[in-house]
Structure 1
Amino acid sequence: MAGRVARTGQRGLGGYPCPMQGRASNFANVLSLLGAFVATAMVMGLLAAGLVIPAVGATGSAAKSGVQAFDSLPGEFTTSPLAQQSKIYDARGGLITTPYDENRIIVPLKAISKTMQNAQIAIEDSRFREHGGVDPRGITRALVSNFKGGDTQGASTLTQQYVKITLQENALRNNDKAAAQAATAKTYTRKLQELKYAITLEKQLTKDQILEGYLNLVYYGDQAYGVEAAAQHYFSTSAAKLTLSQSALLAGLVQQPSRTDPIHNPERAQVRRNVVLDRMHELGMVTDKEWKAAKAIPVKKMLKVKPAQNTCGRSTQPYFCEYILAYLKQLPALGKSVPERIKKINQGGLTIQTTLDPKVQAMAQAQVEKKVPVGNSERIGAAASIIEPGTGKVLAMVQASRFPTTGQKGKKYTQVNWNVDQKYGGTSGAQFGSTAKMFAIVTALENGIPVNGKIPSKYATPKQAAIYTPSEMKGKCGAGSAWPVRNDEAIGGKPLPFSLATQKSVNTAFASLVLKLGTNKVHDTMNKMGLHQGTGKEIECYPAAVTLGANDTTPLTLASSYATLAAEGKYCTPNPILSITTNDKKPIKLPTDNCKQVISKDVANGATKLLEGVIQKGTGTQAKLAGGRPAAGKTGTTDNHVESWFVGYTPQLAGAVWVGTPYSQKRMKNIRLGNDFYPEVFGGTISAPIWKQLMDRASQILDKPKRDFDEASSKVLEGDIIGIPSVSGMSVQDATKALEGAGFKAQVAGNTYSNMSAGTVVYTNPSGRAVRGTTVGLYVSTGYVPAPPQPTSTPKATSSPKPTKTTTKPKTTKTPPPKKKTG
């Protein structure tokens, strides 16, 4: 950026740079000035535009050849759109950042104060309104002043300056360094071309159009390009409100913006400002009173510097700022390649409104820091993301750390965004523990296991592991060695109600379930619900990763996956953009296909039913929302209490809270955070209470009414219950065929005394109706009924023969009609 300061440096005769020494100190300088004047005068004498100046030493054939040379130069002058800053806002209109290559804000001439217009004309080109692009009187005046040893004066008109700087700007925007150097080269050819372009430009544009372009183009020092950016930077005001003293100060910067920078060189700036005020007074642009009053104000007291917000370190939301800029660089709507998109972001003057709600953001930051103070001695970190189900809008993104702005280091500073993937400035993520069980729940419901059904479970305790052998882990997501699984309490050894296994987060129940379903099937569910590692890769396909979250992901990713259930099966990729408009107020078309129905509404509502139980009477009771607001979610705690999670949702909001160890693998046991002491940190003890506060308060801020989830169908709640065909009297082979044809499995369960032919089926258990896919037990006839035993001394009552094996018929319950949404 510093290399561009030289665009509008001090100018001498004919626009050439020369030192600010006040006098031509030797004969060589005088000859140089005279030579420049003679050459320029010769050309001026040859122009067909009606401009007259003595052609010293140019006669006859020399004049003729000069005319031919001048006529052969290109005359068409074109300008490219100026590079200007873009602005990124939050959802309520607050400024987040202003990315730019050049800090420029283009405004129309009517939005620039008249005093500013007059000040620039007075010091740069007082005859601007009179000449036709080239000023013979100005050249003569500059020559005489320089020749006599007076103040060095420039002869370039404001129009010529505009041409030169525009040529350089166009070249720089096209990354053409050679053309940029040629635009300011100290050659007569370059000067002749500039003169011709200036005359052409005066025929194409009005004086006001040229002045407007100039005031938006020139460099005013300290990375401020154009008068509007300069007014905001130095005085925290707009170009329309610039006072006389402020206008004179800015106008005086153009010749030597670095040397007279008022922030770093206030004394020189004041001297230069007064030169401008004197010139304005001399030209009659200001009264004696105005002139004296403006000069009496010290420059230091004039300044009200507004730091540029072109870097995320200076942003009000630095982590989200980094995320949004990375997101924009990958947005096809801004260009076909990353360099093209960066150019549009930094030079295109875009207005970008994001989805970030500043009120929700501020609340979330406060709540996270309340539980996990920034820079705590335990070196524990925390992060949380809140999104809107059904749209993917990112409403908040916070973490318990500080963004370094000037190279700060230490336990409270990090530039890494713990909420997002690596490609957005984040990390590979953290192990997500039992929050992974949600994906097994969805897969089970899709495969006919009902909400009110049972799932298998091996017995295990915190110390005694259940062992799953490689033979039990068949398939493409199997494991090559035994897999030990422990529970947080002594439980298992028999089928458990699905709801109980979910509420208590029974590891062996879900391990058995995943292996029964097929690890690859649950892995496929993760993929379609958007779950992936922070590296961008899929979750690794092995039982521990798929079942118990022994792999890494990020809060934003996990919140988006769970939001799929809140949106009744519709997964939406996270979306931080509301709108983008160009510098001429035209909207840029954004993609509308970031949402897709990936699971059925019925299955989503069934999963919600199970996850509601986690909050109502399971491991997540500390996430229970105020006023009985319906909510569903899941806790997660990794081995050795290194990471803890709570991820959940209401019908309108979804959020993920992570509390963990970003700097080490320290166990979160016997630690103190804020005012609380934790013997052991679980997802339910720290992440769940934070999540509760976020959801309660965000719902209030966003005015979300209390609303119920939709009920799942009886098919998902109880299973696909269908009639069992009567197979009494059939052979085992025929009965099996009939049952399988009806959607059941069949196996011989035992024999029973019967007069029916031996080997024929007498009855089944269950009978009547059962869930599709149920294994139906066949009880086969022995072919006879034994005679009752003869009575002895005391007759005894006899009983009918019992089957060799019996089963208990499943109970069925009526399912209430689905509830309607409220609010």
Structure 2
Amino acid sequence: MIRLLKFFGWSIVAVFCGLLLGLSGAFLYLSPGLPSVEALRSIQLQIPLRVYSSDDKLIAEFGEMRRTPIRFADIPPNFINALLSAEDDNFANHYGVDPGSLMRAASQLVKSGHIQSGGSTITMQVAKNFFLTSERSFSRKTTEILLALQIERQLTKDEILELYVNKIYLGNRAYGIEAAAQVYYGKSIRDVSLAQMAMIAGLPKAPSRFNPLANPARSKERRDWILGRMYKLGKISEAEYTAAINEPLNASYHVPTPEVNAPYIAEMARAEMVGRYGSDAYTEGFRVTTTVPSNLQEMANTALHEGLMTYDQRHGYRGPESRLPGKTKEAWAQELTKQRTISSLEPAIVTQVDKDGIKVLTRNGEQEEHVAWDTMKWARPFLNTNSMGANPRQPSDVAQVGDLIRVQRQPDNSLKFSQIPAAQGALVSLDPQNGAIRSLVGGFAFEQSNYNRALQAKRQPGSSFKPFVYSAALDNGYTAASLVNDAPIVFVDEYLDKVWRPKNDTNTFLGPIRLREALYKSRNLVSIRLLQALGVDRTIDYISKFGFNKQDLPRNLSLALGTATLTPMEIATGWSTFANGGYKITPYIIDRIESRNGETLFVANPPRVPTGEQASDGVAAPATETFTVNATGGEATTAPAVPQAPAIAERIVDGRTTYILNSMLQDVIKLGTGRRALALGRTDLAGKTGTTNESKDAWFSGYNADYVTTVWTGFDQPESLGRREFGGTVALPIWMSYMGAALKDKPPHTQPEPEGILSLRVDPVSGRAATPGTPGAYFELFKSEDTPPSVNELGNGVAPGSPLPADEAAPIDLF
């Protein structure tokens, strides 16, 4: 018996020595190819790109992996206990390898003939997750063991656990325990219950099989087993165990919910980051802060959406999106799952038509909801953009059972009958002092189309382009009182045998008219005569200083009527010069970039409009780096940002010119096509409508010293908005809604009067300085060197700088 015991004892020693020699040999053989464990101290886990508003509200998250790293000190002790109870209850005592677990795994190998899962400690899983593949082989397992032993020698237990809980995949694109808590419970791991911690702790073994969303029964079974282990190991009390066991499995799918609806802004920021950092933008955990305040963006969203729906309903109801009669409620519910909500417009199917309205089934509800008849009365049948059918008299004139329609949920949770607008629009609002984008909407709904009309839609701006021609005139000797003949004119192209007879929108002619009046009345012939007198090439050279590409500006007199092809962003950028006193700014969207560790990598420092003593003319400082709209390329930057003094924006227009033009554009709102904006009750607003031929495009651009905002409306495939639709009826109400909200409670803010401006009484007939008793005399603004002579020196009755008389026919190269 003693000999048998000795033999058994020496056999164990021999086996142990053999294992030790085997491991030693394996270490000597494999160690040259082992990765450096020290790299774990500086490991960079993949973290998605997050985009925020200027007031730190989440706009969007980009990246395949949802991960929010958490420090070990912030992990609840109960979760650590749950995890160790499930995965490695001997973690505190072993040195990276648990011999007992390995022996069990070896026994399985002998019995089954192949390596099965099991036997791995948390340290070994760290080795596998960070350095190895999922291959099952003896050599890979040996390497895993050797790495685990090294990891235990060089890292503390806390460091190992921190690496593990932040790396592991836990289903539904969640990597790490903090992301899993957010995905399944919508809160931090620090705030979940004991039962919820046990559920998350059970996921590493098999994220799909124990997923609480896909397999709730198996997930609960796994959770309860872990709670039992915790109780058995003395980690929780009987009362805690009983309470956790009885807690229902209340997991549900949560995704990072944007706090701001700004998908076009998010896409712009994403494109900028990819242009700068390449694919690393999605994995390096960059935090991008944009220039967009959340409140202004929401105001812009509301203004454009409501404005387009108001226009759309003004032209009637185009009918249901489809008809699904004779189907069951279950079939209708299934059909609704295929439909998306577009902006705020939910899909719904009519289930009943009553005298006081209709009942509908919505995608998110099992019960039918009521849509009141009062919300349906607008729905006259659409015939074309210029005509509609008769007014509906009852709900059955509008809807039938089985109609797939759109409804809009109101603040009181009631439903309003609606439809997706056929027309589109865009809104851009900039800070004219530095070019920061304060809000941007590129279309009615990003879900409908990610085409960003604010940046990509090149359309004719119509009369909203005229201020650039007037600016050229004021910078070349004309004054606001200069007379130009608003009379018929004919242009002949001798080479193409073409005749062009431009006309005013009203088909009327006012004769000699002051530039101020001609602008607020938007007289086309005056703009054409100004451009003719200034010269097309000379004017294009001048206008291109505002940031326009010359190839987008036609080299003929139609330029005066706004036939250039420009985007809303380009128009808003050009108009910023009028708002800021003559300086050129460059729009930008990214204000700050921070690393995963909170280190500032980039701070925008764009050229700014000078203030005070800076405003003296001089050489502008070179622009420092910033992310401009449509910027591309650039090497990845990881060095911290170094603060630099702001550059001074380049002056491109005489400040006196913009001051006088600002006064003229204020008259557009006081007296002209922008009169609706008087309803805002502000004295600091200036702007101009724009409507192209056949009303295919409707614009309004306007500003005060705080914001310059451009609105465009039209169809993606150009067609008429309607015979009675203009910039003042479609675009201006959108602009008013936004600017009214954006400027609410803000005091008036206008460009300060520059030196060299005189205010003189003028004779409205001649444009000359008025004498006492001159009928209808009014005060006009002039540059000090452009003051008009007295009315007593009329001579031929033409004010200086006025191209009168004009020929009735003038040969010119038109097209």
Q: Same fold (TM over 0.5)?
A: yes
The reply on whether 1:642 has 2:690 as its aligned counterpart is: no
The reply on whether 1:445 has 2:381 as its aligned counterpart is: no
The reply on whether 1:156 has 2:127 as its aligned counterpart is: no
The reply on whether 1:459 has 2:476 as its aligned counterpart is: no
Q: Aligned AA for 2:731?
A: S
Find the residue that maps to 2:600 and give its secondary structure: coil
Q: Which residue of 2 aligns with 1:303?
A: 251
Q: Which residue of 2 aligns with 1:559?
A: 572
Distance of 1:316 and 1:650 partners within structure 2: 26
Q: Which of 321, 325, 338 is equivalent to 2:270?
A: 325
**Preserved CA contact (<8 Å) 2:178 2:188:** yes
The reply on whether 1:112 has 2:166 as its aligned counterpart is: no
Structure 1 alignment gaps of length 5 or more:
1-50, 169-182, 405-412, 422-427, 461-465, 474-478, 670-679, 720-768, 776-804, 813-823
CA RMSD of the aligned region, Å? 3.5
Q: Which residue of 2 aligns with 1:348?
A: 284
Q: Which residue of 2 aligns with 1:167?
A: 131
Identity over aligned pairs, percent: 27
Cα deviation, residue 165, structure 1:
1.0
Distance of 2:571 and 2:237 partners within structure 1: 68
Distance of 2:525 and 2:235 partners within structure 1: 88
Q: Which residue of 2 aligns with 1:502?
A: 519
Cα deviation, residue 206, structure 1:
1.0
Cα deviation, residue 230, structure 1:
0.6
Q: Which residue of 1 aligns with 2:743?
A: 699
Distance of 2:559 and 2:197 partners within structure 1: 66
Cα deviation, residue 482, structure 1:
4.7
Distance of 1:811 and 1:437 partners within structure 2: 21
**What is the number of equivalent residue pairs in this alignment?**
613
Cα deviation, residue 583, structure 1:
1.0
Mean CA deviation greater in 594-603 or 430-439: 594-603
Find the residue that maps to 1:284 and give its secondary structure: coil
Q: Aligned AA for 2:232?
A: E
Please list the CA deviations of residues 63-89 of structure 1 after superposition, one character each: whole Å capped at 9, or x if unmatched: 875453244443622243001123222
Q: Which residue of 2 aligns with 1:543?
A: 556
**Preserved CA contact (<8 Å) 1:365 1:399:** no
The reply on whether 1:252 has 2:295 as its aligned counterpart is: no
The reply on whether 1:269 has 2:311 as its aligned counterpart is: no
Distance of 1:315 and 1:127 partners within structure 2: 47
Distance 1:99 1:65, change over 3 A: closer
**1:656-667 equivalences in 2 (<5 Å):** 656-667=710-721
Q: Aligned AA for 2:579?
A: A
Q: Which of 21, 25, 36 is equivalent to 1:76?
A: 36
Cα deviation, residue 646, structure 1:
0.9
**1:484-633 equivalences in 2 (<5 Å):** 484-490=501-507, 495-531=512-548, 538-543=551-556, 546-593=559-606, 595=608, 596-597=649-650, 598-624=652-678, 626-633=680-687
Q: Which residue of 1 aligns with 2:727?
A: 683
Cα deviation, residue 350, structure 1:
1.8
Distance 1:688 1:113, change over 3 A: same
Find the residue that maps to 2:202 and give its secondary structure: helix
Cα deviation, residue 196, structure 1:
2.3
Distance 1:522 1:241, change over 3 A: same
Cα deviation, residue 774, structure 1:
11
Distance 1:521 1:268, change over 3 A: farther
Distance 1:381 1:712, change over 3 A: same
Cα deviation, residue 616, structure 1:
1.5
Distance of 1:155 and 1:605 partners within structure 2: 80
Find the residue that maps to 1:622 and give its secondary structure: helix
Distance of 2:100 and 2:784 partners within structure 1: 105
Q: Aligned AA for 2:190?
A: A
Please list the CA deviations of residues 456-505 of structure 1 after superposition, one character each: whole Å capped at 9, or x if unmatched: x4623xxxxx322458x9xxxxx996543211235558553111221111
Distance of 1:70 and 1:369 partners within structure 2: 65
Mean CA deviation greater in 186-195 or 575-584: 186-195
**Preserved CA contact (<8 Å) 1:619 1:684:** yes
**Preserved CA contact (<8 Å) 1:643 1:658:** yes
Please list the CA deviations of residues 129-182 of structure 1 after superposition, one character each: whole Å capped at 9, or x if unmatched: 111222222212444577689x976111111111211126xxxxxxxxxxxxxx
Find the residue that maps to 1:681 and give its secondary structure: coil
Cα deviation, residue 56, structure 1:
8.5
**1:419-434 equivalences in 2 (<5 Å):** 419-421=454-456, 428-434=457-463
Cα deviation, residue 647, structure 1:
0.4
Cα deviation, residue 591, structure 1:
4.1
Mean CA deviation greater in 106-115 or 633-642: 106-115
Q: Which of 199, 207, 228 is equivalent to 1:278?
A: 228
Distance of 1:303 and 1:498 partners within structure 2: 69
Distance of 2:598 and 2:13 partners within structure 1: 46
Quick one: higher RCO (CA 8 Å, sep 6+), 1 or 2? Answer: 2
Distance 1:252 1:441, change over 3 A: same
Cα deviation, residue 449, structure 1:
1.7
Q: Which residue of 1 aligns with 2:430?
A: 387
Mean CA deviation greater in 681-690 or 65-74: 65-74
Distance of 1:83 and 1:488 partners within structure 2: 60
**1:750-765 equivalences in 2 (<5 Å):** none
Q: Aligned AA for 2:180?
A: A
Distance of 1:491 and 1:718 partners within structure 2: 30
Distance of 1:593 and 1:361 partners within structure 2: 21
Q: Which of 365, 371, 379 is equivalent to 2:301?
A: 365
Distance of 1:485 and 1:809 partners within structure 2: 24
**1:81-230 equivalences in 2 (<5 Å):** 81-144=44-107, 154-167=118-131, 183-230=133-180
Cα deviation, residue 643, structure 1:
1.2
Q: Which of 290, 306, 309 is equivalent to 2:240?
A: 290
User: Any runs of at least 4 consecutive aligned residues in structure 1 with deviations exceeding 6 A, and if so which?
Assistant: 56-60, 145-149, 715-719, 769-775
Structure 2 alignment gaps of length 5 or more:
1-11, 318-384, 386-421, 609-648, 762-782, 802-815
Distance 1:66 1:321, change over 3 A: closer
**Preserved CA contact (<8 Å) 1:520 1:541:** no
Find the residue that maps to 1:362 and give its secondary structure: helix
Cα deviation, residue 542, structure 1:
2.3
The reply on whether 1:807 has 2:796 as its aligned counterpart is: yes
**1:236-251 equivalences in 2 (<5 Å):** 236-251=186-201
Distance of 2:198 and 2:721 partners within structure 1: 64
Mean CA deviation greater in 572-581 or 97-106: 572-581
Please list the CA deviations of residues 35-87 of structure 1 after superposition, one character each: whole Å capped at 9, or x if unmatched: xxxxxxxxxxxxxxxx9993497698x78754532444436222430011232
Q: Which residue of 1 aligns with 2:773?
A: none
Distance of 1:134 and 1:712 partners within structure 2: 80
Q: Aligned AA for 2:480?
A: V
Distance 1:200 1:56, change over 3 A: closer
- TM-score by structure 2 length? 0.69
Cα deviation, residue 399, structure 1:
6.1
Please list the CA deviations of residues 597-639 of structure 1 after superposition, one character each: whole Å capped at 9, or x if unmatched: 2323222212212212211212221123633422111110100
Cα deviation, residue 704, structure 1:
2.4
Q: Which of 742, 752, 760 is equivalent to 1:710?
A: 752
Distance 1:634 1:66, change over 3 A: closer
Distance of 1:283 and 1:214 partners within structure 2: 22
Task: Pick the structure with greater CA Rg.
Answer: 1
Q: Which residue of 2 aligns with 1:40?
A: none
**Preserved CA contact (<8 Å) 1:431 1:549:** yes
Distance of 1:93 and 1:468 partners within structure 2: 57
**Preserved CA contact (<8 Å) 1:450 1:717:** no
Please list the CA deviations of residues 227-256 of structure 1 after superposition, one character each: whole Å capped at 9, or x if unmatched: 111101101110112322111111111121
Find the residue that maps to 2:588 and give its secondary structure: coil
**Preserved CA contact (<8 Å) 1:418 1:554:** yes
Distance of 1:117 and 1:525 partners within structure 2: 69
Q: Which of 698, 705, 710 is equivalent to 1:651?
A: 705
